[in-house]
Structure formats: structure tokens, C-alpha cells
């Protein structure tokens, strides 16, 4: 679901996990600097400043792609620095914002919630962002949704095997 209000994009994606409880899945998000374990395409994620698990923590995430033509190959690195702005362990939610990047984000704030449901848990990923040049809102929302589905599957497997 995506809405455009006063030039901002707002969207939300959800993933339902069968089996693992919200308390089993929440630590995967609480460990803010290990996104590369869960999000497809992220090669690197590490802490650059702040205290682990505390607002103000900043992570650096990057992904690299190799493009080639007949004469040479070129590695392109896309990166973001994201700052944890709120974390609530009781409610199992956190918010973060992109503070620097080379991908085209001007303003992006996301909230992740892990909610209990009858036979497992539900993850909600909502965001508010300025439009991103060269990235239509429907494509961006599709990226968020497919990324969350992939993350949910990996987290479900990890929780049930651990």
C-alpha cells in the first residue's frame, strides 16, 4: 500500500511468519548492524558510531554490482548510512532514518514492528520518504514488499532452526 501526500511517499509492507513468536524474531531486528544476514543484496553492514541497541547508533550498509561491457568490468557500490532514532523492546519496534547515501534518498524514515499473531508473528515495515529520482513509487514499494518477504522467510527459518 502506498500513498502520496504533499510530495511525500508513504507505504507499508507486511510479512506473516508461521511458527516463530514475535519474541523469537525481534532480536534479528534489534541487532541493528547485521542487516546483511537478512536483506537480499546487502553485502556489508556494520556500526560506524553510537552504542549498540541505543538511539543514535549509525550503521553503514552497502551492496556492490558488477557491470561489464566488452572492454572492461566496473564495480558499482551503492551505500547508505542509517541512524537508529527509536527502539522499544517492549513493543518490539524501531525507527531509523537514512542520513547519508549515494542512492538518491533525500529523506527516508522507516519503522519496523514485530507483532504477535495467533500462529506466529507479523512484521510491518512502514516508511515515509521524499520521492527518489529515477525510482517510481510503485517500484520502490514493490522493492520494500519483496525485501520484507525474503527477510521474513530467512528469519522464520533461523528462528525455527535455532
Whether pLDDT at 68 is above 90: no
Q: Interior CA angle at 101 toward 130 and 49, to 5°?
A: 115
Can you say how many angstroms the Cα of residue 106 is from the centroid of all Cα atoms in its chain? 17
Give 7-63 pLDDT, tens digit per residue.
Answer: 899 999 999 999 999 999 999 999 999 999 999 889 999 999 999 999 999 999 999
pLDDT, position 6: 58
Give 127-141 pLDDT, tens digit per residue.
Answer: 999 999 888 999 999
Whether pLDDT at 71 is above 80: no
pLDDT, position 2: 47
| Residues whose CB falls within 8 Å of the CB of residue 70, separated by 6 or more in sequence, listed in order | none
Phi first, then psi: give them for residue 67, nearest 5 degrees.
-110, 145
Residue scoring higher pLDDT (2 or 151): 151
82/66 Cα distance (integer angstroms): 24
- The mean pLDDT of 108-134, rounded to a whole number, is 96
92/113 Cα distance (integer angstroms): 6
The residue with cell 549498540 is 52
Whole-prediction pTM: 0.90
Of all residues in the chain, the percent with pLDDT exceeding 90 is 83
Of all residues in the chain, the percent with pLDDT exceeding 70 is 95
Whether pLDDT at 65 is above 60: yes
Amino acid at each position: 500500500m502506498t500513498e502520496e501526500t504533499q510530495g511525500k511517499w508513504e507505504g507499508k509492507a507486511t510479512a506473516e511468519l508461521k511458527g516463530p513468536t514475535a519474541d523469537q524474531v525481534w532480536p534479528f531486528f534489534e541487532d541493528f548492524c547485521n542487516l546483511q544476514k537478512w536483506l537480499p543484496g546487502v553485502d556489508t553492514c556494520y556500526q560506524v558510531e553510537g552504542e549498540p541497541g541505543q538511539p543514535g547508533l549509525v550503521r553503514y550498509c552497502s551492496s556492490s554490482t558488477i557491470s561489464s561491457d566488452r572492454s572492461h568490468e566496473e564495480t558499482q557500490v551503492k551505500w547508505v548510512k542509517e541512524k537508529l532514532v527509536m527502539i522499544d523492546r517492549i513493543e518490539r519496534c524501531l525507527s531509523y532514518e537514512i542520513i547519508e547515501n549515494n542512492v538518491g534518498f533525500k529523506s527516508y524514515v522507516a519503522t519496523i514492528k514485530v507483532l504477535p499473531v495467533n500462529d506466529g508473528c507479523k512484521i510491518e515495515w512502514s516508511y515515509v520518504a521524499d520521492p527518489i529520482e529515477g525510482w517510481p513509487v510503485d517500484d520502490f514499494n514493490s522493492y520494500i514488499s519483496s525485501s520484507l518477504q525474503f527477510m521474513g522467510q530467512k528469519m522464520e527459518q533461523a528462528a525455527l532452526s535455532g
